[in-house]
Amino acid sequence: MEDLKLTSEEKAVLVPKLVAYLSDELDVDAGQFDAEFLLDFLTNEAGAVLYNRGLNDAHAALAKHMDAFADIIYALEKPVEVRR
């Protein structure tokens, strides 16, 4: 798997939110540059954990739908008489 990297568009959305969060919640005056480095750090350190959680959620949703699909297919089966 390749490293998780945010696009410049994603960073453009997230960095200002991170700057605002740091200021509002932690009273930390971080600039755009510092917030981008922090975002890169969080992406590298927490990104894989969050990505894996998303994959697990997707797998569970797919398994649920596959079970329902299997039931639909089973219901389509026609009875077969066995003659002896």
For the chain, what are the domain ranges?
Answer: 8-76
Give the mean pLDDT of the chain.
92
Predicted confidence (pLDDT) per residue in 16-45, tens digit: 999 999 999 999 999 999 999 999 999 999
Sign of CA dihedral 36, 42, 48, 50: negative
With 80 as the cut, is the pLDDT of residue 1 above it?
A: no
- In the prediction, which pLDDT does 17 show? 97
pTM of the model: 0.68
For residues 54-76, average pLDDT = 92
To the nearest 10 degrees (0 to 180), the angle between helices 32-76 and 8-26 is: 110
